Amino acid sequence: MMRPGFLLIIALLAVFLALPGFAPVYYMQFATKALLMGVFALSLNLVVGFGGLVSMCHAAFFGLAGYFLAFTTGDSAGASIWTSLPLTLLVVALAAAVIGVLALRTRGIYFIMTTLAFGEMFFYLFHDTKIAGGSDGKYIYFEPEIVVAGHRLIDLSSKVAFYYVALGLLVATLLFLRAIIRAPFGHALMAARDNERRALSIGLPVFRVRLTAFVLSAMIAGVAGYLSAAQFGFVAPQLLGWHQSATVLVMVVLGGMNGLFGPVIGAFALMGLEEVLKSLFEHWKLIKGIIIIALVFLLPGGLQQLASLVRRHEAGEDTHG
């Protein structure tokens, strides 16, 4: 007999696959953005939830990838995804490696402040210089091209095609992270999170494991940033700022850090909440803050905790019955 959680995942996947068939274009684009932000939140949760490291510079990797798509896009045609994406991820990985080597020598609040400082350095690099339009940002007039032997495999200018690419990326990221967490590498990462001294005493290479996780998470954030820039056709320094890092951190905390699906739930919940409040209230940000604070107090384990509460309630009913 299939577990209820597995059946729910299958049902949600079926809804997402069918969404372009009945949803207006606006909501499909909104869902595409939410899917990409879900990938972004998943990337951060690899170091926050499973690694115990609160990074405040992940927006730098997200935005840097978008900028490199802008750099590699031509004036008359889109960049080839086969060359521009690997180049982008290489740049992001190098940046993450440099930041990680320095930041991971610190702990706690000092790690947070160090990553925050690096994130702000990237923000001001693009904001205060003429690189890619400075504070005005830069437009990307053509989507990346996925071409093999002269034939276009996927036309990313199609909103439906782009949506399915974003959905495929989210599913692939979930499967990839699931494999990582269940592997010895994932166990080592969580062991270092739970008790660093004990992990060191049994010979685990804590620094190397954390650095690898940090770089991997940055590359996943880079893929999300690359496609996000392609979706909206515009990049600006705000993509790299601490506000963006804080927003994705809220998604992780809101959804739940102790599970694989929590950050995705948090991304959809936060973006959906913003969408509803914007249409109803003028001072919607204040109301959003109050709701988030209330949810954090009521559900310290995140929105994914609701599933466990439902299961306990059903188990209680079965016991009494």
Give per-residue pLDDT as tens, 153-196. Answer: 888 889 999 999 999 999 999 999 999 999 999 999 999 999 99
The answer, yes or no, to whether residue 230 has pLDDT greater than 50, is yes
Q: What is the pLDDT averaged over residues 192-216?
A: 94
CA–CA gap between residue 232 and residue 44 (Å, rounded): 22
Query: What pLDDT band is residue 277 in, cutting at 50, 70 and 90?
Result: very high
**Rounded distance, CA 237 to CA 134, Å?**
8
Task: Scan for tokens 């310290």, then name that residue.
Answer: 300
* Nearest in space to 68 (alpha carbons), one of 43, 81, 87: 87
**What single string gives the DSSP state of each residue in 101-164?**
HHHTTS-HHHHHHHHHHHHHHHHHHHHSSSGGGGGG-EE--SPPBEEETTEEEE-TTSHHHHHH
Confidence band of 1 (pLDDT split at 50, 70, 90): very low
Alpha carbons 48 and 42: distance in angstroms, whole number: 10
Cα 257 from Cα 181, distance rounded (Å): 13
CA distance linking residue 90 with residue 127, whole number of Å: 23
- Reduced to 3 states, what is the DSSP secondary structure of residue 303? coil
- For range 5-29, the mean pLDDT: 84
Q: What is the pLDDT of residue 46?
A: 95
Token pair 């914007």 is at which residue?
278
Which residue bears the tokens 């091209």? 145
Q: Is the pLDDT of residue 217 over 90?
A: yes
Question: Bridge partners of 152?
Answer: 147
Q: HSE of 69 in the Cβ direction (CA atoms, 13 Å)?
A: 33
**CA dihedral angle for residue 255, residue 260, residue 261, residue 266, rounded to 10 degrees:** 20
Mean pLDDT of 199-207: 93
- Yes or no: say if 213 and 51 are a contact pair by the CB < 8 Å rule: yes
What pLDDT does residue 249 have?
94
Average pLDDT value over all residues in the chain: 89
pLDDT band per the 50, 70, 90 thresholds, residue 307: low
The single residue listed with the structure tokens 């990346």 is: 144
**Tokens found for residue 159:** 């909103």
**Average pLDDT of the residues in 249-267:** 90
CB 34 within 8 A of CB 164: no
Amino acid at residue number 110 = Y
Q: What is the CA radius of gyration of the chain?
A: 20
pLDDT of residue 248: 95
Instruction: Count Cα neighbours of 282 within 13 Å in the Cβ-side half-sphere.
Output: 0
Q: What are the C-alpha distances in Å from 195 to residues 101, 106, 122, 129, 199?
A: 21, 16, 32, 43, 6
Give the residues across from 151 on adjacent strands: 148
pLDDT in tens, 106-122: 988 999 999 999 999 99
What residue type is 64 in one-letter code?
L
Contact 68, 76 (CB under 8 A): no
